[in-house]
Structure 1
Amino acid sequence: MVCPVRWDPRMPVALVVLLLDITLIYHASRTGRLQPWAFIILMVPLIGALAYIVVELIPEWWGGPGAAQARKRVANRLDPEKRYRELSDRLATSDTIANRAALAAECHTIGRFEEAESHYDHVLRLPQGDDPAYALAKAQAQFARKQPAEALATLDALRERWPDFESAEGHLLYARSLAEIGRLDEALEEYQAVSQYFPGAEARVRYGLLLQLVGRTAEARMVFNELLIQMRRAPKYLRDAQAEWLSIAEKQLSA
């Protein structure tokens, strides 16, 4: 029988921390959480242990979807590439379109845009990967790595290959790419078109900003004003979801 460790006021704090770290690392190893927690706990004594308790143990004790989501957010901040490593291992084991597309999407999420583009390129070359959604995702990765001309070329090829494919996100990306390479008149036309049906406020705010940039201030103010009037009638959850873009519109009107 193992005797419990009794508290002794003379026991050094460092020893207590060490015992706590060992206990938590053992727990992590038994529950499949050794990576990256062993490294975090050992490299940041006490703080790493507290983080493990907050991120892993408390949500486990309390349960519930809210706690699980909070745990995921904190874990992503502590180890943002954990899912990337998991998906990379999965792809190495089974190179399927689904696994490669999942890894590509995660690459985009964590800022590995060039790698994301490479994975989408690979998928598009496969007989069963010939899908406009992957071409759009490739263009998004190209734009994210500051290559708007390449994104535009990919979107033009997409439109030629799949003329019936419709995507508000793709249409907005097309307008943004045109604006980035200086084709402003064309960009304004595309912004005007996409702002008529794009869900949310982003397309209209970007349209207004470009109108301001080219000196069409009165039209820009009209776009911002109409957006804000419309959103005042929208449910609160919609206004909250669009808060960032509505704030930009308000600032432009008050400038």
Structure 2
Amino acid sequence: MGSERRKNAAVATLVTATLAAGVIAMVPRGPEGPRPAPGPAARARAAAAVGAPAALPELNALIAERERWLRGRPGDEESWAVLGTAYAERGARFADWDALPRAERALRRSLELVPAADGNTEALLGLAALAGARQDFRAARDHARQALKQRPRRWTVHRALIDAYSGLGDYKAVAASLEKLTSLYAGPQARGVAARVYRDKGWREDAAATAYDAVAAAEGIAERAAALHRFGDLDWERGEPAEAIESYDLALRLDPGHRPALASRARALAALGRTDEALRDYRTVLERGPSAEYALEAGELYESLGLGEEAGAQYAAALAAARRATAAGVNQELPLGRYEADHGDPEEAVRRLSAEWERGRRGMETADALGWALFRAGRAKEALPYAKRATKEGLRSPLFSYHRGEIERALGLYGPARRDIGQALRINPYFSPLLAPAARAALTALGEPPAGGPRKLTGREGAVRGFGTGSSSGASSASSSASSSGASSGAGGSGQSGAGSSGSGAGAGR
């Protein structure tokens, strides 16, 4: 009920803001009538000035305008920086990987005209955006830090740092940068960044309230669509797919080219059993631009429906998309590692993801993916520290909880396994078309905790054998069985490996 009231309020705010904007536009500005509406390139420039996203047609118009301008004025370093940043945004948001080399050439040209050391902050921020688009978070951090020395009170510098620190897993630095950002700027873009940081901390109510504020304050069409998509994702992550779809629908009415909203709607439609519509949305989003992540999601939906041939085609498309992105300099080790862990060679997944970890990419996503890859490769004991690290920061991810629970189950830690797998389903019972059913099967196999409760509460030190240790021979056997089964089965099958009975070596659940 509370969620529905929030959604109705958000819809009302959006409609009111849209109508108000239309009324204001019709008010005469002088004896000659209203001023002409700004063109698409001008709207894109205005969005960039406040750190907001631009719709694809506006972004393309800005790129074309700056290219025409630079043909006659090749010495304009600021326009080269604007052009490069626009190309980087197009590449990142629309999977237009061919735009990224163009972005780099434009930004390097800007720096040739005015070096970074001489105060070319715009080019430095453009390079940070380009590095972020390529998932090179160390380079993004270094460029943003250099920009910070020149413009410490520019809020977009701190946003670039937050993006880079998040990718590297430096969450203390994320918190410090957010505090600085919000002290400098309180507009809708800052609220959107804050909502994402709060979500990653597990502060769900704060994230939802801040995301709602961002919807209410958003101005441009693309900015409103992005805010609504963020709001819908928070509903989805709470296990409320119908409410999420309402926000995604609104976002797509405003910006039909918003690919993340389209993919998110496909995910939520699948959760409601509307699989034909979900597959339609996945097809549309993949026609608009190759994406390993979205192709993997589509493949797993097909697999959950028993359509193996169609699933295989999507997995092949995911690999092709990853190869194309890699050729443009985009780091695809995380989606490739996830693919190999669940649908290919788990040892290859371990190799890729371990290398990422050693290169300093130590965020929650990498920790979860590496832990799961190790488990799938039959190395559950090595996997557990990574699974714990993925869940310790606070993000309420059902995927992370499920992965951790399966690793614990393999090690004979049945109480923690029962807790974490159960938590995955409580957070979002629809979190994956393959893994949510596997989680339910695993929880059933674990059964209820044994009678008597934990030793430390009852005082019967010997009453519950093997409580909380996982060191018995039964635990070792479970680990071996689960690991070998997990390494040889698909993603859905991994959820049913190494199931312990409710009476063998089990600890107390929650």
Q: What is the Cα deviation at residue 83 of structure 1? A: 4.6
Q: 1:129–1:232: structure 2 CA closer, same or farther, 3 Å change rule? A: closer
How many Å separate the matches in 2 of 1:171 and 1:177? 10
Q: What is the Cα deviation at residue 172 of structure 1? A: 0.7
Query: Which of 188, 197, 216 in structure 1 is aligned with 2:288?
Result: 197
Match of 2:148 in 1: none
Q: What is the Cα deviation at residue 85 of structure 1? A: 5.1
Q: Please, what TM-score do these two structures have when normalized by structure 2?
A: 0.31
Query: Which stretch shows the higher mean deviation, 182-191 or 101-110?
Result: 101-110
How many Å separate the matches in 1 of 2:327 and 2:169? 32
- Verify the 8 A CA contact 2:251 2:258 in the aligned structure 1: no
- Verify the 8 A CA contact 1:87 1:103 in the aligned structure 2: no
Q: What is the Cα deviation at residue 135 of structure 1? A: 1.1
How many Å separate the matches in 1 of 2:328 and 2:187? 42
Query: Which of 260, 265, 268 in structure 2 is aligned with 1:174?
Result: 265
Match of 1:101 in 2: 192
Q: What is the Cα deviation at residue 95 of structure 1? A: 4.8
Q: CA RMSD in A?
A: 3.8
Query: Which stretch shows the higher mean deviation, 78-87 or 242-251?
Result: 78-87
Query: Which of 65, 71, 77 in structure 1 is aligned with 2:142?
Result: 65
| Partner SS for 2:344 | helix
Unaligned runs of 5+ in 2: 1-140, 146-160, 347-487, 491-510
| CA deviation map 1:97-147 (0-9, x unaligned) | 344333223223333233222122223334748722211111122222332
How many Å separate the matches in 1 of 2:282 and 2:199? 24
Within 5 Å, give how 1:103-252 maps onto structure 2. Answer: 103-126=194-217, 128=219, 131-160=224-253, 162=254, 164-228=255-319, 231=322, 234-235=326-327, 237-238=329-330, 239-240=332-333, 242-247=335-340, 248-250=342-344
Q: What is the Cα deviation at residue 77 of structure 1? A: 4.6
Q: What is the Cα deviation at residue 200 of structure 1? A: 2.7
| CA deviation map 1:53-84 (0-9, x unaligned) | xxxxxxxxxxx939x78x95789355774455
Q: 1:101–1:78: structure 2 CA closer, same or farther, 3 Å change rule? A: closer
| Partner SS for 2:291 | coil
Q: 1:72–1:120: structure 2 CA closer, same or farther, 3 Å change rule? A: closer
Q: What is the Cα deviation at residue 180 of structure 1? A: 1.8
Q: What is the Cα deviation at residue 211 of structure 1? A: 0.6
Q: 1:138–1:254: structure 2 CA closer, same or farther, 3 Å change rule? A: same
Q: 1:165–1:106: structure 2 CA closer, same or farther, 3 Å change rule? A: same
- Verify the 8 A CA contact 2:292 2:319 in the aligned structure 1: no
Query: Which stretch shows the higher mean deviation, 193-202 or 121-130?
Result: 121-130
Q: 1:249–1:228: structure 2 CA closer, same or farther, 3 Å change rule? A: farther
Q: Which has the higher contact order (CA 8 A, sep 6+)?
A: 2
Aligned residues: 186
How many Å separate the matches in 2 of 1:65 and 1:87? 18
Q: Please, what TM-score do these two structures have when normalized by structure 1?
A: 0.57
| Partner SS for 1:121 | helix
- Verify the 8 A CA contact 1:175 1:188 in the aligned structure 2: yes
Match of 1:8 in 2: none
Q: 1:174–1:198: structure 2 CA closer, same or farther, 3 Å change rule? A: farther
Code of the aligned partner of 1:156: D
Unaligned runs of 5+ in 1: 1-63
Code of the aligned partner of 1:243: L
How many Å separate the matches in 1 of 2:293 and 2:208? 24
